[in-house]
Structure 1
Amino acid sequence: MKINILPNSNKPSSKIVLLWIICFSIVIFTLQTWRIFSLNATYDQGLFLQEIWNTLQGRPFESTLASELSSPVKFEGELPELGYRHLAQHFTPLLAIWAPLVGLIGIWSLPFIQVAVIASAGWVLFLLGKEYLPEQLAGWIACSFFTTGTVLGPSLENFHDLCIIPLLVFSLILGISREQKLLYFIPALLLPLVREDVGLMTFSIGIWMVFRKPNWRVWGIGLCIYALTAVLIITNQIMPLFGSELSTRFIQERFGQYLNGETGGTIDVLISMAKQPGLLLKELISPIGSTVRLFVTLFLPLAFIPLLSIDVWFLIAVPLFVALSSQGGNAMSVHLRFMLYLVPGVFAGSIFWWSKKHHLFQVKRYQSIWKICMVIGIFFTLTGNPHRSLSVIIPDSIDPWVHIPIHKQLIRGVNAQNLFSLIPPDSSVAAETHLIPQLSERRILLRFPENYMYKDLNGKRKEVDYIISQPAYNADYSSAFRHHRIWVLRSNQTLEKLVNSKAYGVYYCDPYSIILRKDLQSLAKDKKCMATQLKKTMRKSLQ
């Protein structure tokens, strides 16, 4: 019996696309929940949960975890501040719509949201395809959406604010295709509210409308004006009200090479680029290897058709320029969230190319090549183990060998649940990165060993009530990953210092975990347990 996993002429394509969406949702949600339970999720998962949870409690966008990433903390040695708002780093007001769901299902709400909006984007892409193409071809494009590393990677990543971009962009273009103004206006208005730099991508859509959609040319000009105005107002007027992070940290990290060490905003960067065309050209084409890998990963699942589409190049022009002109590896990393700036333009633009050449789809040899491209895309994505989502079967490192088997990951997940039950829900906590996602529904949470002190609303220095450490967790990875080795050394030194100074006492200790409590007198057996664990993990991390 032949099983058709791609749409064909003998069966409604919608059913197969829905099957792909269901399978994608189940698999990705399962992997996401496993990442959180088995302690493979990391900092951003907790940061966004704390931010949205605080919004639900009447403290919009407040986050002590975000405060740890602020310029005063990172560059001036200041303590994290209670009351700090993440809006200083990223303007993400649209996140507030998820607050009720966080209130209903807690830590599991974020993976549910991320999977749901990306899966829904695939369905809207299918509807968009049907506006211009035979249903079977539209189905193939929609299925290809779920095979690309630039979708699978961001879907498996920690929760992020960009996950809603494909749904909004596909809905906007669907509104244009159907001549439905409301369907166009809602996503057009919301896009710049996803994050401050999403307005640049929206500007690119407006340019596409001006040159490729004559009936929408005036609306395209309006969208360009709205998007550019939103970016300039948000980055130059609104975000500085909450902090200086945009100019002193994020602009420097991504575009500091143009500013020669000076601080500046969006306009300053553009002026500096114009004054240094040689440097700009160099940044756009180098490093060659990363640039080629980016294009291959983007275009492979669609059998490289996007390379031929003028619509694709218009839709991705501005976000692609931003990615190529940035410094650092994140903007070019094909498994990170930033790819979602490019993905909608690649897939929607391909639909417009096929609308004039859909007869070529009937060539069986081409269909075979397309299938091979999809398989290759999935294969390289999964074997790359994005975000440690498949660490139960794929080693985290081969040389030296680091692989935590599934039973050990299950045990450490269960142990972590027992650990969390010992911490009062309203207490302030400092915990290591892998523990943060499951502790974030509290107002005061810091990353240990980086911080265990903070400033309260009056500016007074305070220590957290509890410190949670699992030296053995980081020691398991220390042979292959330097940052884990550093965490072991710093955690152990800080734990010893705090207990020896009697600022904290050992509240709980077992072979896996240590909890310190402020102003507690340690029992001899607990101090001995901690000393034994620290000695063991220190020895392992130095091997």
Structure 2
Amino acid sequence: MGDERREGPEPRTKRKFDWGWRTVLIAAALFWVLCSIFALQRFYNFFPTFVSFDQGIFNQVFWNSLHGRWFEGSLSSSESSAVQLDNQLPEVFYRRLAQHFTPALLLWLPIYALFQSPAGLSLLQVTLMTAGGLVLYALARHYHPPHVSALIAVSYFCANAVIAPTLANFHDFSQIPLFVFGLLWAMEKRRWWLFWLLLGLTLVVREDAGVITFGVGFYMAASRRFLRAGVAVCILSLGYMLLLTNWVMPLFAPDISRRFMVEQFGRFTNGQEASTLEVLWAMIRNPDQVLAEVVNPPGRTLSYVLAQWLPLAFVPVISLDAWLLTGFPLLKLLLQEDPTALSMHLRYAVSLVPGLFYGAILWWHKHPHWFRPRLRQFWLFCLGLALLFTVASNPNRALSVFIPDSIQPWVYTSPARQWEHAQAVRSLLRQIPSDASVTATGNIVAHLSSRREVLRYPGTRLINDDRKQIGVEYAVLDFWYPLRFSAAFPDEGRSFFGMTNRVLGWLRDGSFGLMDFQDGVALLRRGVPSSPEAAAAWNQFHQPLD
């Protein structure tokens, strides 16, 4: 009998464990498949998004690094202070490390070598975010039984802050959930070699990832669970960020002080340049201004944090651990001048995810008696609401195959019409040699970014490897989408007419000639006469609009 009692619970524990893993694996598989489908269909349909350009930036960085030109990119150069502030030309040998220090990308270079495509980066991003959810389940299982752990992991896959950035164009923060959940798991298991390894990998994701690890260290020290290790993490994170932004990154170019710190935190310094040390000192000297920026505008701030808390049934609101973990990353977002910093659709939202979910895990561990049927039902209701809000917001226009981009006025492009337009674009791209220099509109440039000399329209000139100024040989401009969106979005209308006037100027002065024009997309080549058929199609398209 004694042996039976000792062995009796084991099968039940195993069944619960299997049930939890099965639930999470099903949720992860659905997440991976759906996100992959929507991300790829948008990419292959050339559907424009707010950050379409980013996919091209990262793909060119990967492509150049694969060929031994580490972190170089003409697309990245077009965002440098030399181009944006000094009106210099982009350089093909510019290193993106001056803008964002991202050595962790090299981890995925062997995987990129297998597909060498911007579309593969979308699949890589979906896979990284999915893997983060699986590690989260393992972390939750340290404290909770399978049914609670599974619900926490499912909440991750239903969160707007997870789904929307996954459907965005590739970004470096897609590595954060995997690394940070992993280091928290290693901390709980006292596997310190793995903890410090994952801490190092998190820091090299991006120069500002240290804010996330600083929050982890602050929790470790403030909770007194791992006081000395927590202090060490805080010192290492802060020191690493200051060393990078003040001494290492300026070795490549002064972009961090001339552009990014001024654009993000210039209201605190009121200067043309600002280092991270100067910004931190300005914040310390002006606590009233910092407090004002944190709470203003109150409506936008409140809606943002509510959206972050919703998938976890608002548990992070009352979790002190969640506040300790996310306080500093949230403070950074609230102090940024970037209007997209509080967007649930972009990479910044991911920075709060590890702290919120780990804080919820700890809160449920301390309050297991709260896990009652009524609260579980409320939690499931919150998950449904989070999914509804996510779908309704059409994150990064990835769901535009069945959701209109505007209701009043009505703007919707059916999947068949999107595919028809994409076929026209592809037929034009096939006419461009693989080694030719080219400029293209934002929704097309990623497809052309596996080359040395490529720019986003309206850029047409750059500095090549011979240090000579050249004009790009080809230009591909998509007029069709801006025209369709112009009825609801005035900026798209201005973009459309700006492109039209520029092309008319090119044709008048002979700098470019039309090679082909299909379905509102123009293919131009420098210094050649226009094809009569292409010119006739172009006139038929734009003259009625004039």
Asked if Structure 1 and Structure 2 have the same fold, meaning a TM-score greater than 0.5 normalized by the shorter chain, the answer is: yes
Stretch moving more, 187-196 or 476-485: 476-485
Equivalent of residue 308 in structure 2, options 294, 298, 302: 298
Partner of 1:63: 73
Q: Deviation per CA, 1:318-354, whole angstroms, max 9, x where unpaired? A: 1111111222321111221101111100001111111
Equivalent of residue 37 in structure 2, options 13, 23, 30: 30
Structure 1 position 145 matched with structure 2 position 153:
no
Q: Deviation per CA, 1:270-290, whole angstroms, max 9, x where unpaired? A: 111122222111101111111
Q: Where in structure 2 are there 5+ consecutive unaligned residues?
A: 1-14
Partner of 1:489: 497
CA distance in 2, matches of 1:524, 1:144: 58
Equivalent of residue 180 in structure 1, options 183, 191, 194: 191
Structure 1 position 400 matched with structure 2 position 433:
no
What SS is found at the alignment partner of 2:410? coil
Equivalent of residue 442 in structure 2, options 409, 433, 446: 433
If the length of structure 2 is used for normalisation, what is the TM-score? 0.94
Partner of 1:479: 487
Partner of 1:209: 220
What SS is found at the alignment partner of 1:508? strand
Q: Deviation per CA, 1:158-182, whole angstroms, max 9, x where unpaired? A: 1101001011110001001111122
* Aligned amino acid, residue 342 of structure 1: L
CA 1:511–1:153: 2 relative to 1, 3 Å:
closer
Cα shift at 1:19: 0.1
CA 1:495–1:168: 2 relative to 1, 3 Å:
same
Cα shift at 1:531: 2.4
What SS is found at the alignment partner of 1:197? helix
CA distance in 1, matches of 2:507, 2:92: 25
Cα shift at 1:11: 6.8
1:227-306 superposed matches below 5 A? 227-306=237-316
If the length of structure 1 is used for normalisation, what is the TM-score? 0.94
Number of residues paired by the alignment?
Answer: 528
Percent of pairs identical after alignment? 34
What SS is found at the alignment partner of 2:142? helix
What SS is found at the alignment partner of 2:158? coil
* Aligned amino acid, residue 380 of structure 1: F
Equivalent of residue 447 in structure 1, options 456, 477, 489: 456
* Aligned amino acid, residue 30 of structure 2: C
Structure 1 position 156 matched with structure 2 position 164:
no
* Aligned amino acid, residue 291 of structure 1: T
Partner of 2:26: 19
CA distance in 2, matches of 1:510, 1:350: 53
Partner of 2:4: none
Partner of 1:4: none
CA distance in 2, matches of 1:150, 1:227: 24
What SS is found at the alignment partner of 1:332? coil
Partner of 1:464: 472
Q: Deviation per CA, 1:387-438, whole angstroms, max 9, x where unpaired? A: 0011111111122221111111111122222222111111111011111121
Equivalent of residue 419 in structure 1, options 428, 432, 449: 428
What SS is found at the alignment partner of 2:341? helix
Q: Contact 1:133–1:358 (CA<8 Å) still a contact in 2?
A: no
Stretch moving more, 502-511 or 278-287: 502-511
Cα shift at 1:77: 2.2
Partner of 2:364: 354
Partner of 2:520: 512
Cα shift at 1:25: 0.2
Q: Contact 2:101–2:206 (CA<8 Å) still a contact in 1?
A: yes
Partner of 1:5: none
What SS is found at the alignment partner of 1:462? strand
Cα shift at 1:213: 4.9
Partner of 1:116: 127
CA distance in 2, matches of 1:490, 1:98: 39
Cα shift at 1:535: 2.3
CA distance in 2, matches of 1:134, 1:435: 48
CA distance in 2, matches of 1:475, 1:121: 39
Q: Deviation per CA, 1:28-52, whole angstroms, max 9, x where unpaired? A: 0110101101112511011111111
Q: Where in structure 1 are there 5+ consecutive unaligned residues?
A: 1-7
Partner of 1:165: 176
CA distance in 1, matches of 2:220, 2:234: 10
CA distance in 2, matches of 1:278, 1:185: 37
CA 1:178–1:300: 2 relative to 1, 3 Å:
same
RMSD of equivalent CA atoms:
1.6
